[in-house]
Amino acid sequence: MRDVAVIGMGMTKWGELWEKSLRTIFVETALLALDDAGVNRIDSMYVGSMSSGVFVGQEHIASMLADYLGQNPIPSTRVETACASGGLALRLGWMEVASGISDVVLVGGVEKMTDVSGYEATYALSTAADQEYEGYHGITFPGLYALIARAHMEKYGTTREQLAMVAVKNHHNGSMNPLAQFPFKITVEAVLNSVMVADPLRILDCSPITDGAAAAIICPVEMAKEMGKPVIKIIGTGHATDSIALSSRKDITWLEATYQAAKQAYAMADKKPHDIDIIEVHDCFTIAEICVLEALGIVEKGKGGVAAEEGITSLEGKIPVNTSGGLKAKGHPVGATGVAQVVEIVKQLRGEAGDRQIKEARTGMTQNMGGSGGSTVVHIFERE
């Protein structure tokens, strides 16, 4: 197995991009990544997209996007594991390069979510839950995460204010990310007074509906060095599954797939949680960030809320989390999110993160999660 490096990345401004189609958003983003890497030919590509079929009536996008990127007839593969599709695309791209099958691979993610109504988007997202045991009975994702939040509050004493502090921190970070959908600060009071969605979660606890794409170019480390590129190595990868229905889990406050994926990635990278300098995690709802940090071993079980309150995860804290603004402020075009996490980590490790740059960041991690935790992909990166 060869060592693999990320040598290019691209992301365009996220938001409600009504004037652009899925293919346009993806190709613009992929071209930025190719430019950044300094290559114009790729051997293969992987695209993460959760539900292009339901959102825009278009499956078969791997071939379509390879063609519109001018790369046909290369192999091009779409992968899906709900909101973790982007992270999974990176994992498969890594596998293809590490194994020696290909040298230069594009890894991308895309979702076009605002061509349908909010009601239809909520339905499309609900296809990541267990339709027969959850969806058909009327529950959607805010409701599922509200159950998790309520259980966490009961079990560990997590407060309503601590949930709000996660959103406040991520919007603070996102206010320095010009590509974010909502690049502005919010206050705890604003969160507490925002519209109720599913008790205890309010609208400012929820990540938004977003159009967007992200892309990265990977190749063997040796090739990256020959090209004179900054070498951001992929030193760990993990992928694990869990039941996609909450009702099948022993403890809904514990994200077992995240724990398992992280265990694999830590072992491969030979790292412990305290070795990680920065993390991008899947904060689709404020409670998600809290549970994820516990499952990753970054904080003790039950202490995710306290971590936000004490500022441990802020830009100035011991372990900055979601320096990009996270899904909350940056936006959450579901299939693209996992790759956008990679974009942020690469920017930080290269020292190109502008006002939100973390000094001396050398080791970064991404955690990308599907549904209410039914799948998780974790990667660890290191600057040489």
Catalytic residues: 83, 332
Looking at the Cβ atoms of 216 and 261, the one nearer to a second copy is 261
**Which of residues 70, 100, 118, 311 is near a second copy by CB under 8 A?**
100
Nearest to 11 by CA among 372, 239, 341: 341
**Which of residues 6, 37, 39, 128 is near a second copy by CB under 8 A?**
128
Residues 6 or more apart whose CB falls under 8 angstroms from that of 239 comprise: 87, 88, 91, 261, 264, 375, 376, 377, 378
Query: What is the length of the chain?
Result: 384
> In Å, how far from its chain's centre is CA 1?
26
Residue 319 binds to a second copy (criterion: CB under 8 A): no
Looking at the Cβ atoms of 102 and 324, the one nearer to a second copy is 102
**Do the Cβ atoms of 49 and 108 come closer than 8 Å?**
no
Quick one: residue 267, left, alpha or beta (phi over 0 = left, psi -120 to 50 = alpha)?
alpha
State the Cα–Cα distance between residues 95 and 115, nearest whole angstrom.
34
State the Cα–Cα distance between residues 275 and 296, nearest whole angstrom.
12
Residue 324 binds to a second copy (criterion: CB under 8 A): no
State the Cα–Cα distance between residues 66 and 72, nearest whole angstrom.
5
Cα R_g (the chain), whole angstroms: 19
Q: Print the binding letters for residues 253-282 with a second copy: x by CB under 8 A, - otherwise.
A: ---xx--x----------------------
Name the minimum Å distance from CB 238 to a second copy: 8
**Do the Cβ atoms of 118 and 142 come closer than 8 Å?**
no
Name the minimum Å distance from CB 115 to a second copy: 11
Residue 231 binds to a second copy (criterion: CB under 8 A): no
**Which of residues 4, 82, 179, 279 is near a second copy by CB under 8 A?**
82
**Which of residues 19, 57, 117, 250 is near a second copy by CB under 8 A?**
57
- Which of these segments, 121-129, 171-179, 202-210, 315-323, binds a second copy (CB under 8 A)? 121-129
Nearest to 110 by CA among 175, 42, 177, 64: 64
- Which of these segments, 34-42, 88-96, 200-208, 355-363, binds a second copy (CB under 8 A)? 88-96
**Which of residues 38, 40, 59, 226 is near a second copy by CB under 8 A?**
59
Q: Cite the DSSP H helix spans in 203-255.
A: 221-226
Strand-pair partners of 8:
217
**Which of residues 40, 131, 187, 193 is near a second copy by CB under 8 A?**
131
| DSSP H or E segment with residue 26 | helix 22-37
> In Å, how far from its chain's centre is CA 309?
23
- Which of these segments, 57-65, 169-177, 196-204, 303-311, binds a second copy (CB under 8 A)? 57-65
Looking at the Cβ atoms of 261 and 293, the one nearer to a second copy is 261
Residue 95 binds to a second copy (criterion: CB under 8 A): yes
Considering only residues 8 through 47, tell me which ones interact with a second copy, judged by CB under 8 A.
21, 23
In this structure, what token pair is assigned to residue 247? 């009702």
What is the binding site for a second copy (CB under 8 A)? 1, 21, 23, 50-51, 53-54, 56-60, 62-64, 66-67, 72-82, 88, 92, 95-96, 98-101, 123-124, 126-132, 135, 239-244, 248, 256-257, 260, 370-371, 374-375
